[in-house]
Structure 1
């Protein structure tokens, strides 16, 4: 395989007409230039120059190679520009996965920043409830709910974003709606609307908290998402218990009341692939996620 650096030196000698002039243009010694040209001739098995007075003149083979070198070096320059753009985050792609309540509350702000700062980068967004066990199926950045102390495994790092406490969402005229907080056990006799279609950590976390309070959640209606469950509560069907992040935008007539003794809390993490961890778009995505999580933290009870 031809050495690109030797081709550059050779092309400079062709353009300059002498080793000394090429050395001056390149900032090399004449000896170094001669060594590169000799090595290229040996590498190709061609006679590339012949003497012409005090200078050098390319042979017929040298002229052909110089023409080809122009094309090769131009393409190499284009490739180097692409590499520079990729390194600076001016082009390329980044994949990001999220779960529904984060998608509604956080992703518009995150995507607006990324598309503003990196207009040439394609964002591949995916809605995922769980972090895949197979590393090959994971994206560059995934916002996920996991247990505290979660280990993402080799090749990935977990960045804490938010500890999200659960709240009870009630109609405004419910007797408990005027309270600043409500003990979880006080909800045991209420009609509950479920809001999770998956047997994931969010639901298991709630069931464990209820068990610690001495009862099992009395689900009377099962809904598959937060908006549907909230609509059922607004219709007077019952109450629902969900993370505070899912209760940021409530329908009219509803109120979210913090739950205590115990307070179920889910941990939200950003799981980042090590291979892209220092790329500008990923660093900006992490910074944007931390920024949108911060107001919720400051508004959290206690």
Structure 2
């Protein structure tokens, strides 16, 4: 076991794929695969296992990555202390690190900022976004303090608390004047091209799920874009149809050139949840999430 193998393992867990990890490391994908295969043989346990079409890390892989990160952090601290031995110490800036799905960021970001502003000594609030499973891996590795995102099917982890924030109410949208704008059934728009926010297989990709349960051919997804501002603009200026997870994200559809298509069958719903460690991992986290929960209770999104 060496530092390079552990670094490759952490890169794969953080990036979510061997290919992306190879790009970040500046090496080939086979180099990543060979290094992790050698590591698995050395420890005598698999590092990844198949779960349907996905390859997910084992508990042993997560534990090794966490242990390696602690060792690396400790060594970095030793070197940093040596460099700064003759410099006046400066107090660390407290930070709360959040991961939010794009829609959750639009819905809850303002409440988080308002809550942080009430702190006597406001911490730095950092917000990242991305796929739910990738952010939850970062939460498990304590690279994030909380995550607000759709709950992936079958996600369970000891030590992680989950609270439902809202249930999605997905709606199909098209540009005003679209030939299919008058459709009222999913079958009438089955042949359309789509722009979606979530990647294939993600819980938020309700178009894919709606087609799958009806045993239809997969939808023609032309664009996948997690940025809702860009996504809405694409739908309003093309013949692409799009699904928006909650009407609160489109408070005035007509003003931006969109019209809802209320298909009678409806689309699958999913839970958007707050995930956090059972014990607070950052100063002020309990207070921040309590303020967020109070704001949500006052104006529940459902």
Tell me, yes or no, if structure 1 residue 190 matches structure 2 residue 192: yes
Q: Cα offset for 1:155?
A: 1.7
- 1:97-116 map, 5 Å: 97-116=99-118
Give 2:95's aligned residue. 93
Q: Cα offset for 1:240?
A: 1.1
Q: TM-score, normalised by structure 1?
A: 0.56
Give 2:232's aligned residue. 230
3-state SS of paired residue (2:114): helix
Q: CA RMSD in A?
A: 3.3
3-state SS of paired residue (2:168): strand
Give 1:145's aligned residue. 150
| C-alpha distance 212-246 of structure 1, shift in aligned 2 (>3 A) | farther
Q: Cα offset for 1:163?
A: 0.7
Q: Cα offset for 1:254?
A: 0.4
| Cα deviations by residue, 1:117-163 (Å, 9 ceiling, x for unpaired) | 35332323222322333622442211121146743x12210011011
| C-alpha distance 140-167 of structure 1, shift in aligned 2 (>3 A) | same
Give 1:165's aligned residue. 169
Gapped runs of 5+ residues in structure 1? 1-90
Equivalent-residue separation in structure 1 for 2:274 and 2:221 (angstroms): 34
3-state SS of paired residue (1:120): coil
Q: Cα offset for 1:190?
A: 2.6
- The answer as to whether partners of 1:164 and 1:245 remain within 8 angstroms in 2 is no
Gapped runs of 5+ residues in structure 2? 1-92
Q: Cα offset for 1:98?
A: 0.9
* Of 237, 261, 267, the match for 2:265: 261
- 1:30-45 map, 5 Å: none
Give 2:278's aligned residue. 274
Tell me, yes or no, if structure 1 residue 221 matches structure 2 residue 225: no
- The answer as to whether partners of 1:184 and 1:210 remain within 8 angstroms in 2 is no
| C-alpha distance 198-100 of structure 1, shift in aligned 2 (>3 A) | farther
- 1:49-68 map, 5 Å: none
Paired positions, count? 204
